[in-house]
Structure 1
Amino acid sequence: MRSKVVLRRVMAKPQVVIGLIGVLALLALAYLGPLFGQYTWEQKDFTAFRSPPGADHWWGTTQIGQDMFAVTLRGMQKSILIGFLVALISTGLAALVGAFAGYFGGKLDKILMWGTDLLLVLPSFLIIAVISPRLESGSWLMFVVLLASFSWMITSRVVRSMTLSLREREYVLAARYMGIPDWKIIFRHVVPNLSSLLIIDATMNVSGAIIGETALSYFGFGVRPPDVSLGTLISAGGGSTAISYPWLFLFPAGLLVLLVLFINLIGDGLRDALDPGSTS
């Protein structure tokens, strides 16, 4: 019953509906669009270098003759995948660290929060920029782990604060008196009651991770060749190239803006709909 009320409140937010439609449309474009294209992202047309959009190449071609439509959709696939994986890992890590620290307290709380505070003051961009170039080509999963490692600390402190209150609730005390193991109490009673916060955090982390990946890839610290992402495409098509051959920049940059915009609309709508103080 409660889930139906929450769903009705969420769907009553127009920004959520617009965001969902936009994200689904971009997902369909990214994963179904290549099926209708004339070229794969790895194919090269040696008769068309930096050709403008036309009948053969709908979005033009790159500097090395790749079809811009296929390459851009491949880049969006990679950026979306990285965004969702980073959000899943970072939100999950924040929930675990914050819940265990708040529930058990004592030395475990001090150790976990000390580690959290340490990561907060470390220059994450610099560390990723130093480590990422040393990864083997194609090891984008390690890049995901690096991004996620610096994306969970603030949320974990919020989770810890909420857990300090939840652990004194009657149902948690009753479960403890019944002899249920602490870890089961955390996963059955504490974390589910933090679901609203975690859902919103995960949604916002997706857009944050996509922007982070794009920024790092733009400077050459993210996705490595021969693979592509929106960041690498924007980097390749930026500068003076964007003026002479605008399609190399406009298509990946435009899709990035739309993707982040729609995800942020969903996040803002979820925050308003799931806010306990909201009266709408």
Structure 2
Amino acid sequence: MTMQQEALEAPLEPRDPVTRERKPLSRNRLVWARLRGMPRFWVGASVFALIVLWAIIGPLAYPWGVTDRDALNMGMGPTLRHWFGTNAIGQDIYAQTMSGLQKSLIIGLLAGVGATLIAAIVGSLAGYLGGRADSVIGWFIHLLLVIPSFFILVLLSPLTRGLSWLALTFFLAIFSWMIMAQVVRNQTRSLRNRDFVRAARYMGMPTRKILGRHVLPNVASLLIIDATLGIVASIMAETSLSYFGFGVQKPDVSLGTLLADGTAAALTRPWLFVFPAAVLIILLFAISLIGDALRDAIDPTSGVNRG
């Protein structure tokens, strides 16, 4: 056998591994690859993780509770005994800030994710069914968008005073899903005529399975962004309502109630206001960084025209 024949029969392999054709990345891997190159994502995720751990572990390693009073150190500034100082009746501000942080985190997570779930279900159902069902659901969404949700929550606040903070969480989720539902509705209208959705419909697949397997996965990126930013909006809404006395009610504590209690003494005893405000600002800033990074990773063109 000649050398030329041996060369023809030998398997063809690239001389350089770099020249081998790479498989295209899936959408999830592509998004993750973009996120890994965004410093603001790592900053936001790290700060948020530290805040969550602090809210969980912080009170366990601290000797003072939310309702404990120190009669010998009433209205005192930060010390080694009371890290964030005490209020006029001797309650520890660090313990109350940790309790308020826990409450605001839970309310924000539950309300933000809950609103996104409602938007996903209502929006996809309206866009997929079309016809009269779409018109009725669309009219209802527009009606809720016209009504100012903050004032509705203020009017509903007497109903939540006799209940726990879970009632406030429920109402925050109920009045926070409409804009995202419109987006999902429009996206579903374009997806319902795709070949894979038509094939599933012709095969007799029920509506709930079509939405769960073929429609919602294609709008999952939008829902993730909405859930992240919805947490920020829910925390801000709860803080505002609690600050004006329409949200979390005593004896429960949130960052909004602490800010309300510390506003009057912001100049004479600034630690009553500064520490809860700083925790709130850092929390919202961290979640906003995560949401902003997710938006740019999922849709790289979203930040093209930003200054």
TM-score band, normalised by shorter chain: over 0.9
For residues 199 and 108 of structure 1, the distance between their equivalents in structure 2, rounded to whole angstroms, comes to: 26
Q: Deviations over 1:112-145 (max 9, x none)?
A: 1111111111121112112113324451111011
For residues 240 and 289 of structure 2, the distance between their equivalents in structure 1, rounded to whole angstroms, comes to: 21
Please say if 1:131 is aligned against 2:156: yes
For residues 33 and 257 of structure 1, the distance between their equivalents in structure 2, rounded to whole angstroms, comes to: 18
> Which structure 2 residues correspond to residues 80-95 of structure 1 after superposition, within 5 A?
80-95=105-120
3-state SS in 1 of match to 2:266: helix
Please say if 1:168 is aligned against 2:206: no
Please say if 1:145 is aligned against 2:166: no
Query: 1:211 is matched with which residue?
Result: 236
Quickly say closer, same or farther: Cα 1:278–1:156, change in 2 above 3 A: closer
The Cα of 1:31 is off from its aligned counterpart by 1.1
Quickly say closer, same or farther: Cα 1:165–1:24, change in 2 above 3 A: same
Does the CA-based 8 Å contact 2:295-2:302 persist in structure 1? no
* Structure with the greater alpha carbon radius of gyration: 2
Per chain length, whose mean CA-contact separation is higher, i.e. which structure has more relative contact order (CA < 8 Å, sep 6+)?
Answer: 1
Please say if 1:271 is aligned against 2:286: no
Query: 1:250 is matched with which residue?
Result: 274
Aligned length: 279
Does the CA-based 8 Å contact 1:23-1:263 persist in structure 2? yes
Give the letter for the 1:120 counterpart: L
For residues 143 and 80 of structure 1, the distance between their equivalents in structure 2, rounded to whole angstroms, comes to: 13
Out of 143, 147, 157, the residue aligned to residue 122 of structure 1 is 147
3-state SS in 2 of match to 1:135: helix
The Cα of 1:5 is off from its aligned counterpart by 2.5
Give the letter for the 2:120 counterpart: A
> Which structure 2 residues correspond to residues 1-280 of structure 1 after superposition, within 5 A?
2=26, 3-137=28-162, 139-239=164-264, 241-275=265-299, 277=301
For residues 133 and 182 of structure 1, the distance between their equivalents in structure 2, rounded to whole angstroms, comes to: 39
Does the CA-based 8 Å contact 1:138-1:227 persist in structure 2? no
The Cα of 1:34 is off from its aligned counterpart by 0.7
TM-score, length of structure 1 as denominator length: 0.96
For residues 136 and 128 of structure 1, the distance between their equivalents in structure 2, rounded to whole angstroms, comes to: 12
For residues 161 and 183 of structure 2, the distance between their equivalents in structure 1, rounded to whole angstroms, comes to: 36
For residues 252 and 222 of structure 1, the distance between their equivalents in structure 2, rounded to whole angstroms, comes to: 17
For residues 277 and 226 of structure 2, the distance between their equivalents in structure 1, rounded to whole angstroms, comes to: 25
Identity percentage of aligned residues: 47
TM-score, length of structure 2 as denominator length: 0.88
Does the CA-based 8 Å contact 2:123-2:181 persist in structure 1? yes
For residues 188 and 64 of structure 1, the distance between their equivalents in structure 2, rounded to whole angstroms, comes to: 57
For residues 295 and 107 of structure 2, the distance between their equivalents in structure 1, rounded to whole angstroms, comes to: 23
3-state SS in 2 of match to 1:108: helix
Does the CA-based 8 Å contact 1:138-1:223 persist in structure 2? no
For residues 66 and 136 of structure 2, the distance between their equivalents in structure 1, rounded to whole angstroms, comes to: 48
Quickly say closer, same or farther: Cα 1:177–1:277, change in 2 above 3 A: farther
Does the CA-based 8 Å contact 2:296-2:303 persist in structure 1? no
The Cα of 1:88 is off from its aligned counterpart by 1.1
Does the CA-based 8 Å contact 2:75-2:87 persist in structure 1? yes
Give the letter for the 1:45 counterpart: D
For residues 228 and 234 of structure 1, the distance between their equivalents in structure 2, rounded to whole angstroms, comes to: 10
Aligned-residue Cα RMSD (Å) equals 1.5
Q: Deviations over 1:238-260 (max 9, x none)?
A: 13x01000000000000100000
The Cα of 1:103 is off from its aligned counterpart by 0.3
For residues 70 and 155 of structure 1, the distance between their equivalents in structure 2, rounded to whole angstroms, comes to: 37
Q: Unpaired runs of 5+ in structure 1?
A: none
Quickly say closer, same or farther: Cα 1:59–1:117, change in 2 above 3 A: same
The Cα of 1:82 is off from its aligned counterpart by 0.4
The Cα of 1:277 is off from its aligned counterpart by 4.2
Give the letter for the 1:256 counterpart: L
